[in-house]
Every structure is written in C-alpha cells, then in structure tokens.
Amino acid sequence: VEETAPLRSDWGDAPHVVQMYGREGDYRQVVEWLEDHSCRMVAIVGMGGIGKTALAALAARQVEESFASLFWCSLHNAPPLELVLKRCLRVVSARPVADVPANMDEQITLLLDAFRRQRCLVVLDNVESILQAGKPTGPYREGYEMYGELVRRIGTVQHQSCLLLTSREMPEEVARVEGKQSPVRALHLAGIEPGAGRALLKERDLSGSDDEWRTLI
C-alpha cells in the first residue's frame, strides 16, 4: 500500500474561536514570541476557564503561515506520549508512521531532527492533565514522566521550531529556564478588565444592575 504524503497541519480538536475579549495585549505578546525565531517554547499558564486554549488557538491561527507544519494536540484525556509523538511525526516529518521507532527517546530525537530541518509549531493543550494536581511547578503523573524529557529537550536543544503549551500549572522544565531573554517564555494569564468581562457575559444573554455586574465579574 502506498503511503500518503505527510500532512502540513493537523489541528486536532483545536477550538474555533470567533471573538476574544480583553486579551488583546496577551494575544500580541504570544504572537510576537511565536514569530521570534529564537523562541523555542511558549507556555500560557492560568486557572481553569480563564482563556488559555482560546488564546493559543487564535495565536496559532495567526502565525500558521510562518511555519512549514503545525500540530495541535489536547492532553485533556492524558494520551500516552508514544501515541502523541507518532501523530506529531506524521505531520512534521516525511517519515511514515510504520518507520517510527518504538523507543520514545529515539522518537524525541527524530522530532528534534525535524525541528532543525524546518520550522514547525507544536501545540500541547491542557498539559495539567499529565501533571500531579495542586503543585505550582508540577511533577508528572506516574507513567507520564517522558513528557518532561520532551519538554526539556525542546527547550534546551538548538532548533528553529516552537512548542506552545497551555497548563493550569507550570511544568518544572519550563519554570527552571523561562525568562524574558530566554528561548523559553511564559505568560501568566490574569483576569480580564470589567468592561471586557461585561461584553463577554452579554454574549450569554445575561442582564442585571451595575452592582450585580461588578459582583459577578
């Protein structure tokens, strides 16, 4: 059976975001980092429901044409790293899935080789699903430790690609090396301004007095 050509992009279950409220500055910052060829990793961190995934989707759509390939994967259901790497390599590499080695360390090496050959964007959404809950720089759940090795190597090895991740907690490999002048950047999302919050909630057909709006927001 003849192998089909590699996909240029795989958006997986990335959300279709039409409108963004009160995140214009955050959006511009993430886009700027993604377009910076010296930036190897961007982490968007914040509490659940604050808009991390929507922001990542909008920014990734904006810069898609700047990359040779794009791969989006939600970790919400905590998929094994081996499956994620095989899907990712199918997108960013010309290597057929049947030729991908079973060893995860070798798979990560192949991914980094692809990252050096062409400019790729990989998005891992909901990273907190593979971290131990309740820790600000979380260690990984049992059986998911190799995700840490993936993040560490992408952040420290020289290449021309970028990993964009979203999480409620900061992976320790990111916390250890992130900084304004580092190839690894982190954006900590805070709440939005009252005016933007009111505009967002009006989309849900909510109404009330000014005091009620302030309390809810």
Express each pLDDT in 49-81 by its tens digit.
889 999 999 999 999 999 999 999 999 999 999
Relative to beta strand 41-45, strand 9-10 is: unpaired
The confidence score (pLDDT) of residue 101 equals 77
Q: In what order do the strands lie in the sheet with 120-125?
A: 9-10, 69-74, 120-125, 162-167, 41-45, 184-188
H helical segments located in 9-144? 24-35, 52-63, 81-92, 104-117
Tens of pLDDT, residues 103-162: 889 999 999 999 999 999 999 999 999 998 776 666 899 999 999 999 999 999 999 999
Of the pLDDT bands very low, low, confident and very high (cuts 50, 70, 90), residue 164 is: very high
Cα 130 to Cα 77: distance, rounded to the nearest angstrom: 9
Amino acid at 182: S
Region 75-99 average pLDDT = 86
- Report whether pLDDT(7) > 60: no
The confidence score (pLDDT) of residue 209 equals 76
Comparing 35-44, 152-161, 195-204, which segment has the lowest mean pLDDT? 195-204
CA angle 12/120/133 to nearest 5° reads 55
CA angle 178/64/97 to nearest 5° reads 90
Region 161-182 average pLDDT = 93
Q: Does this model's pTM top 0.95? A: no
> What are the CA-CA distances from residue 41 to residues 37, 90, 191 (Å)?
10, 21, 23
E-only strand ranges, 56-181: 69-74, 120-125, 162-167
Tokens 């920014």, residue located: 59
The confidence score (pLDDT) of residue 194 equals 55
The confidence score (pLDDT) of residue 102 equals 78
